[in-house]
A = this chain, B = another copy of it.
Amino acid sequence: MPSYKAPVDDVHFLLNDVFHFDNYNNLRGFSDATADVREAIIGEAAKFAEEVLQPLNRVGDVEGCTRHDDGRVTTPAGFKDAFRQLADGGWLGLVAPAEYGGQGLPATLGQVVGEFLISSNMAFSMYSGLTQGAMAALLVHGTDEQKKLFVPRMVEGKWAGTMNLTEPHCGTDLGLLRTKAVKQADASYKISGTKIFISGGDQDLTENIVHLVLARIEGAPAGVRGISLFVVPKVLVNPDGSLGAKNGVSCGSIEHKMGIHGNSTCVMNYDNATGWLVGEENKGLNAMFVMMNEARLGVGVQGLAQSEVAYQNAVAYAKDRLQGRALTGPKAPDKAADPIIVHPDVRRTLMTIRAFNEAARAMMLWMSLKGDVAHRSGDAREREAADDMMGLLTPVLKGVLTDVGFANTVSAQQMYGGHGYIAEQGMEQFVRDARIAMIYEGANGIQALDLVGRKLPRDGGRAVTAYFAEVGAFVKDNASNEAMKPVVGPLATALGHLQQATQWLIKNGAATPDNAGAAATDYMYLFGLVTLGYMWGLMVKAAQTRLATAASDHLKTKLVTGKFFAERMLPETALHLARIQAGAGTVMELPADAF
């Protein structure tokens, strides 16, 4: 059975030494998050994830969710109790404003906790993750009445939230959606249609579910400009928050899917369900984007989180499993064979996963801090700059962390040999669970197009210009630092590749859009590699600074792992550049019939 230990030391190193969390004390909520408070919160979150959620991970996979004949949906044994503990522990309201019952702490802390929850039990964590996403959307676009009615009860975990976009014939292309909203005399709407792939669409964890639903108001324009967002509770709600009659929404069936069995993925039928507009008419996509951007970050973290837990278990197995002898002579001569961690190919695999995980975690926190600045700074220019960077990097984080995170779960499973293929070992569950993260919240190909087609050219390339300035300055400042050379040298090369690719896209993508489309995924990986390389630069520098005054085995590993990343993983940028510069010609040359 797999186990999990939250990477608490690593998080403190990142918050304290790499990103200087205490420097952000001017932002709302940060002064409450003192080092002691952080230590307590992170420690408690680790304990909850390790002791309560992790033991339920395989239970959730084996048992799955059930839709009963009477339409009720039940979650796996133990989930309801765990959700109660999650709510009682205050975890659902960690980041929510105090006026709605939350603790108003930095979103960055929420992201730290999020990683632990996902590593320990991804299917379970989706119930809380989507609830927090729904809160975020209501807090930005809801009326005061909606905020007061819904958010405090979601903070308490009495009600959960969901996100209803996809329909059978439309996922990526939301302009095609058909769910219909008809305005009523009392300013409510009657919603009818079918939504599919609704995570936590129904469950027995909470007494009510707050569905956020995209639909088209009768007579609205075709395409995405005619889509509005509605809040549709499972059970109708009286103005005082007490529950009324059942609403016209029900779970038609639960999907049989590859993984995340512990989360109920529902077909939701809306049949004259009563809903209320969130935000403006026909501006539903804007409103939903608050939730989608939050969700995209969360899904990116899923890639990291599954990679981390799979890595930990692969390490444990590699230290335990005796098979063969080290190439340099027996390392455990008293045993029948050496533990497989002596073998260079096993080491190479583990180092590859580790070098990704640590940099991905840094990227997650770096971006979370930008998010906190964007939402909480009093300085408009600071907010804009942070928001630019968030916008630019969200598709990179989502696409790269989930693709590589999935590949890492596969590599970690591989360390187990045949045992990794056996369900009881739990490694194959990580693979099946991690797989969805590459697909939902915008399949990764869509993330790449978002990066190349929207985020890159936006505001005359302001975001990418700022990105180049920041990473370029780091490279320049550290170019003559001998100790930094193993990382900064390859980073400079990789940054150069990204700049060349960007120039190429500017020159060749606008006139011939297929060039941008054919380059998109490689450009996203290239961007991800440079960003992860930059994170290694920051981490190695911080580790060296600390090591100058204090011995630390943990920090010494950073120097080696950073060098490994620079030596073996960063050089991949050249390949992506070559592919980008190959253009769309050969990609598009065959007629569709030839496939």
Residues of A whose CB lies within 8 Å of any CB of B are 166, 169-173, 176, 196-197, 255-259, 315, 318-319, 322-324, 327-328, 336-337, 339, 341-351, 354, 406, 410, 413-414, 417-418, 420-424, 428, 431-432, 435-436, 438-440, 443-445, 448-449, 513-514, 516-518, 520-521, 553, 556-557, 560-561, 563-564, 567-568, 571-572, 574-575, 578-579, 582, 584, 586-590, 592, 594-595
Q: List residues of chain B with CB within 8 A of the CB of A343.
A: 445, 517
A418, B339: Cβ atoms under 8 Å? no
B435, A410: Cβ atoms under 8 Å? yes
Instruction: Specify the chain B residue showing the minimal Cβ separation from A449.
Output: B345
Q: List residues of chain B with CB within 8 A of the CB of A173.
A: 322-324, 337
Instruction: Specify the chain B residue showing the minimal Cβ separation from A577.
Output: B571
Q: Looking at A406, A440, A514, A517, which has the most chain B CB atoms within 10 Å of its CB?
A: A517
Q: List residues of chain B with CB within 8 A of the CB of A322.
A: 169, 173, 176
Instruction: Specify the chain B residue showing the minimal Cβ separation from A556.
Output: B594
Q: List residues of chain B with CB within 8 A of the CB of A257.
A: 421-423, 428
A564, B588: Cβ atoms under 8 Å? no
A516, B327: Cβ atoms under 8 Å? yes
Q: List residues of chain B with CB within 8 A of the CB of A575.
A: 571-572, 574-575
B428, A443: Cβ atoms under 8 Å? no
Kindly list the 9 A-B residue pairs having the minimum CB-CB distance in the complex, ordered from nearest.
A344-B517, A327-B513, A258-B428, A344-B518, A256-B423, A173-B323, A345-B445, A564-B586, A315-B595
A258, B431: Cβ atoms under 8 Å? yes
B348, A590: Cβ atoms under 8 Å? no
Chain B nearest CB, measured from A327 CB (Å)? 4
Q: List residues of chain B with CB within 8 A of the CB of A448.
A: 345
Q: List residues of chain B with CB within 8 A of the CB of A449.
A: 345
Instruction: Specify the chain B residue showing the minimal Cβ separation from A166.
Output: B418
B424, A256: Cβ atoms under 8 Å? yes
Q: List residues of chain B with CB within 8 A of the CB of A341.
A: 592, 595
B418, A440: Cβ atoms under 8 Å? yes
B557, A590: Cβ atoms under 8 Å? yes
A-side interface mostly? helix
Partner of A445, one of B319, B337, B346: B346
Partner of A439, one of B417, B588, B594: B417
**Given the complex of chains A and B, what is the CA–CA distance between A351 and B567 in angstroms?**
30
A590, B418: Cβ atoms under 8 Å? no
B595, A513: Cβ atoms under 8 Å? no
B560, A590: Cβ atoms under 8 Å? yes
**Given the complex of chains A and B, what is the CA–CA distance between A493 and B336 in angstroms?**
45
Chain B nearest CB, measured from A89 CB (Å)? 31
With contacts A257-B422, A344-B517, A571-B579 known, what are 10 further pairs, Cβ within 8 A?
A169-B322, A173-B323, A173-B337, A255-B422, A256-B422, A343-B445, A410-B435, A431-B435, A571-B575, A574-B574
Known: A173-B323, A341-B592, A445-B414. A518 touches B421 (CB 8 A): no
This chain: copies in complex: 2
**Given the complex of chains A and B, what is the CA–CA distance between A436 and B578 in angstroms?**
32
**Given the complex of chains A and B, what is the CA–CA distance between A350 and B351 in angstroms?**
31
Q: List residues of chain B with CB within 8 A of the CB of A324.
A: 172-173
Instruction: Specify the chain B residue showing the minimal Cβ separation from A593.
Output: B553
Instruction: Specify the chain B residue showing the minimal Cβ separation from A554.
Output: B594
**Given the complex of chains A and B, what is the CA–CA distance between A557 and B592 in angstroms?**
11
Enumerate 15 A-B pairs (CB-CB under 8 Å) in ascending A order: A171-B417, A258-B423, A327-B516, A343-B517, A344-B588, A348-B521, A348-B587, A350-B595, A413-B435, A414-B443, A420-B439, A432-B432, A553-B594, A563-B586, A574-B574
Chain B nearest CB, measured from A561 CB (Å)? 8
Partner of A258, one of B432, B564, B574, B587: B432
Instruction: Specify the chain B residue showing the minimal Cβ separation from A453.
Output: B327
Q: List residues of chain B with CB within 8 A of the CB of A351.
A: 586-587, 590
**Given the complex of chains A and B, what is the CA–CA distance between A572 and B582 in angstroms?**
14
Q: List residues of chain B with CB within 8 A of the CB of A424.
A: 256
Q: List residues of chain B with CB within 8 A of the CB of A354.
A: 595
**Given the complex of chains A and B, what is the CA–CA distance between A172 and B415 in angstroms?**
12
A514, B445: Cβ atoms under 8 Å? no
A323, B414: Cβ atoms under 8 Å? no
**Given the complex of chains A and B, what is the CA–CA distance between A428 and B406 in angstroms?**
14
Q: List residues of chain B with CB within 8 A of the CB of A346.
A: 445
Chain B nearest CB, measured from A64 CB (Å)? 12
Q: List residues of chain B with CB within 8 A of the CB of A344.
A: 514, 516-518, 520, 584, 587-588
A323, B256: Cβ atoms under 8 Å? no
**Given the complex of chains A and B, what is the CA–CA distance between A190 and B22 in angstroms?**
72
Chain B nearest CB, measured from A477 CB (Å)? 24
A417, B435: Cβ atoms under 8 Å? no
Chain B nearest CB, measured from A106 CB (Å)? 31
B594, A258: Cβ atoms under 8 Å? no
B258, A595: Cβ atoms under 8 Å? no
Q: List residues of chain B with CB within 8 A of the CB of A413.
A: 435
Partner of A345, one of B517, B589, B595: B517
Chain B nearest CB, measured from A432 CB (Å)? 7
B567, A582: Cβ atoms under 8 Å? yes
Q: List residues of chain B with CB within 8 A of the CB of A439.
A: 414, 417-418, 420-421
A557, B594: Cβ atoms under 8 Å? yes
Chain B nearest CB, measured from A571 CB (Å)? 5
A588, B347: Cβ atoms under 8 Å? yes
B589, A170: Cβ atoms under 8 Å? no
Instruction: Specify the chain B residue showing the minimal Cβ separation from A168.
Output: B419
**Given the complex of chains A and B, what is the CA–CA distance between A315 and B568 in angstroms?**
34
A414, B438: Cβ atoms under 8 Å? yes
Partner of A172, one of B417, B428, B431, B556: B417
